[in-house]
Structure 1
Amino acid sequence: MYDFVVVGAGPAGSRFARRAADAGYDVLVLERGEVGTPLACSGHVSTDIWEFTPDGARDHLLQNEIYGARFHVGGSRSSEHPFYKDEVISNVIDRVGLDKTLAHAARDAGADLREEHSVTEVDEHGKYVDVTANTPDGTETFRGKMVVGCDGPVSRVRRELGLPEPKEKLQGVLGFAPKAHGGNFVDVHLTAPKFFAWRIPRGDAGVEYGLAAPPGRSARSLFDEFTADYDVETNEFCAGMIPIGPASSVTAHRGFLLGDAAAQTKPFTGGGILYGMTSADHAVRTINPDDPGTLANYERAWRKDLKNEIRLGHWVRRAYSLPKPVQTAGLRTMSGEIGVHMDRPTSLFSTEHLRTLLRRT
């Protein structure tokens, strides 16, 4: 019997598996397809990403360094409002390569990683949990002391455990223009309903275009309008759901959720790579697979760490729906050099940011 059966080998699942295996636990990871596919997430991340990857990962994953963002209230020809630092703010990385790198690290740490294993059932019992999956050789059931749902926004584990859904799910779409681009600013357009559209230069890997929209609006149609405004055609089109707002509980009797399955994401961007891996570290530190009572420690730990960031992130997102004149006036007033961290909206009140604002006055 395994200590943990992890469902999903994305960043949160692989991070948990690696750290749990390093801690001496017997870990099984089930990935429904091939690790890293299909792509359903942007590769624009903060520089903190390298704290969670094996040594040397930056050398083969980094695609571009970003120094700031240009915000637009309208389309590509609208006025731009730049926010920037005189140092690298964020990185653009090979997103598929990240998944593979983290999964290999988990396997190297001793986790049993199995691809092409699609979970169909999760049954909790008093002292163990049974996880059934369709495999290349037929149906197989694996037994563990706990199951870890890291299987994304539309989580089978969440449904099987009877846990509540995230408060909101947006439709996210991505496409790529293959022509190399040497810019080091992203473009953010406050044109998608209740969210935004983006353009990210990926160096030799081309340019990424994307947006997210609430249910009831055709994200693909909005995306086509957005890329047409830039007069580009994209390939490698992909789509997925973006969960926003964690539910009141992400733990059951012998199971818990991590990453997108738990909606451990930034409400103002939808990104969840760093929040999910941070929560994975909390889970390894606080959960004892022999004692279901320790799941409460995990709930407290990750919420204490991310609560204020998520709460303030919701307030930042509300600005996306303000009237255009108000958005324009606000962006014009606030644009310029900044001292904020892209994963931590609380850094708006940091000493670094306040000092930066004072230098601008």
Structure 2
Amino acid sequence: MRDVIVVGAGPAGSRYARQAASDGHDVLVFEQGEIGEPLACSGHVSTDVLEFVPPEDRDQLHQNEIHGARFHLGGPDSRAYPFYKDAVISHVIDRVELDKVLARAASEAGAEVRDEHTVTDVEEREDCIVVTVSGPDGVETHRARMVAGCDGPQSRVRDAVSLPDPAELLHGVLGFDADSDDGDFVDVHLTVPRFFAWRIPRGDAGVEYGLAVPPGEAAGERFETFTDSYGVKTDRRCSGLIPIGSPESVTSDRAFLLGDAAAQTKPFTGGGIRYGMTAADHAAREIDPADPATLADYERAWRRDLGREIRLGTWVRRGYSLPRPIQRVGLGLFAGEIGVHMDEPSSLFSRAQLRALLSR
């Protein structure tokens, strides 16, 4: 019997597998397709994300460095409200390659990673978890002391063990233009309901365009309108669901959720790479697969670390839906050099941000 079966080899799943295997646990990872494919997530990440990547692999992920963001209340020709730092705020990385690098790190740490294996059933028993998998060699059944559900917004593990769903699922759409752009500002457009659209320069890799909207808001049509406003036709497109609002519990008797399956995401951007891997580290530290009682320690640890940021991020997101006159005043007051961290809304109240405001 394995110690832990990890369902999903995205950033959170691979990070947990790497840390747990490094601690001597017997870890088996299943990914339903090719690792990193299909792309369904932006490659714009905070500088902290690279700290989770083996140093020798960081350069191969690099596409561009970002110093700020221009906020718009209309299209590309509307007034821009710039927010920036002299230092690098964030990186643009090869998102597909990130998954591959992290999965390889998990394998090198001792976890067994199997792609092209689809988990079809998860049965929680008193003394173990039974996982049924369909792979190239047919149907397999595996037993483990615990299972980690790292299988995305529509988590099969979450459903199988009857854990609650995220508060909402947004529909995100991405498209790419091949023309190179090494600009150091992203553009954010507060022009879609309850969220935003974006343009991210990716250096020689081109430009990423995207948006996210609530269900029923015609994401595809809005995306076409958005890219038309920039005068581009994207040569490839992908879409996915973005979970917002973590449920009250992400653990059951022998299962725990990580990453998008647990909605460990930023409510104001939808990004969850850093939050998911941070939670994965808490899971690896706190959970003893032989002792189900330690699942409660994981619940407390990740919420103590990320809960405040998620709550504050919810308030930041509400600003996207304020009346236009209020948005103009707010953006006008705060535009300029900033001292905030893109993953930490609490940094809006930091000394660095106060110094930036007073220096204007």
TM-score above 0.5, yes or no: yes
Partner of 1:96: 96
Quick one: distance in 2 between partners of 1:94 and 1:104?
A: 15
Displacement of 1:298 in angstroms is 0.3
| Equivalent residues of 1:71, 1:188 under 8 A apart | yes
Partner of 1:87: 87
* CA offsets 1:214-254 (integer angstroms, 9 cap, x no match): 01111111100000000101022000000000000000110
1:175 aligns with 2:172: no
* CA offsets 1:119-157 (integer angstroms, 9 cap, x no match): 110001111100001111111111110000000001011
Q: For 2:96, what is the secondary structure of its paired residue? A: helix
Quick one: distance in 2 between partners of 1:235 and 1:8?
A: 28
Counterpart of 1:116 in structure 2: which amino acid?
E
| Equivalent residues of 1:89, 1:341 under 8 A apart | yes
Partner of 2:164: 164
| Equivalent residues of 2:334, 2:357 under 8 A apart | no
Partner of 1:33: 33
Partner of 1:200: 200
Partner of 1:42: 42
Partner of 2:116: 116
Displacement of 1:172 in angstroms is 0.3
Partner of 1:75: 75
Counterpart of 1:255 in structure 2: which amino acid?
A
Partner of 2:14: 14
Quick one: distance in 1 between partners of 2:200 and 2:126?
A: 49
Quick one: distance in 2 between partners of 1:235 and 1:36?
A: 19
Quick one: distance in 2 between partners of 1:101 and 1:72?
A: 35
Quick one: distance in 1 between partners of 2:241 and 2:347?
A: 27
Partner of 1:255: 255
Displacement of 1:108 in angstroms is 0.4
User: Which 4+ stretches in 1 moved above 2 angstroms?
Assistant: none
* CA offsets 1:12-58 (integer angstroms, 9 cap, x no match): 00000000000000000000000000000000001001210111222
Q: For 2:126, what is the secondary structure of its paired residue? A: coil
Quick one: distance in 1 between partners of 2:101 and 2:199?
A: 25
Q: Provide TM-score, normalisation by structure 2.
A: 0.99
Counterpart of 2:224 in structure 1: which amino acid?
D
- The answer for unaligned runs of 5 or more in structure 2 is none
* CA offsets 1:252-279 (integer angstroms, 9 cap, x no match): 1100100000000000000000000000
Quick one: distance in 1 between partners of 2:58 and 2:25?
A: 28
Quick one: distance in 1 between partners of 2:169 and 2:246?
A: 11
1:182-261, aligned counterparts within 5 Å?
182-261=182-261
* CA offsets 1:294-327 (integer angstroms, 9 cap, x no match): 1000000000001110000000000000111111
- The answer for unaligned runs of 5 or more in structure 1 is none
1:295-314, aligned counterparts within 5 Å?
295-314=295-314
Partner of 1:153: 153
* CA offsets 1:169-209 (integer angstroms, 9 cap, x no match): 00000000000012110000000100000000000000000
Q: For 1:56, what is the secondary structure of its paired residue? A: helix
1:320 aligns with 2:320: yes
Q: For 1:237, what is the secondary structure of its paired residue? A: strand
Quick one: distance in 2 between partners of 1:213 and 1:124?
A: 35
Quick one: distance in 2 between partners of 1:205 and 1:248?
A: 40
Displacement of 1:352 in angstroms is 1.0
| Equivalent residues of 1:174, 1:239 under 8 A apart | yes
Counterpart of 1:117 in structure 2: which amino acid?
H
Quick one: distance in 2 between partners of 1:358 and 1:56?
A: 40
Q: Provide TM-score, normalisation by structure 1.
A: 0.99
Quick one: distance in 2 between partners of 1:258 and 1:147?
A: 11
Displacement of 1:96 in angstroms is 0.2
How many residues were matched structurally? 360
Quick one: distance in 2 between partners of 1:236 and 1:127?
A: 47
Counterpart of 1:9 in structure 2: which amino acid?
A
Quick one: distance in 1 between partners of 2:294 and 2:58?
A: 35
* CA offsets 1:101-132 (integer angstroms, 9 cap, x no match): 00000000010000111011000111110000
Partner of 1:279: 279
Quick one: distance in 2 between partners of 1:228 and 1:297?
A: 49
Partner of 1:354: 354
| Equivalent residues of 1:4, 1:289 under 8 A apart | yes
Counterpart of 2:77 in structure 1: which amino acid?
R
Counterpart of 2:310 in structure 1: which amino acid?
I
Q: For 1:279, what is the secondary structure of its paired residue? A: helix
| Equivalent residues of 1:85, 1:339 under 8 A apart | yes
Quick one: distance in 2 between partners of 1:271 and 1:135?
A: 30
| Equivalent residues of 2:66, 2:90 under 8 A apart | yes
Sequence identity (%): 66
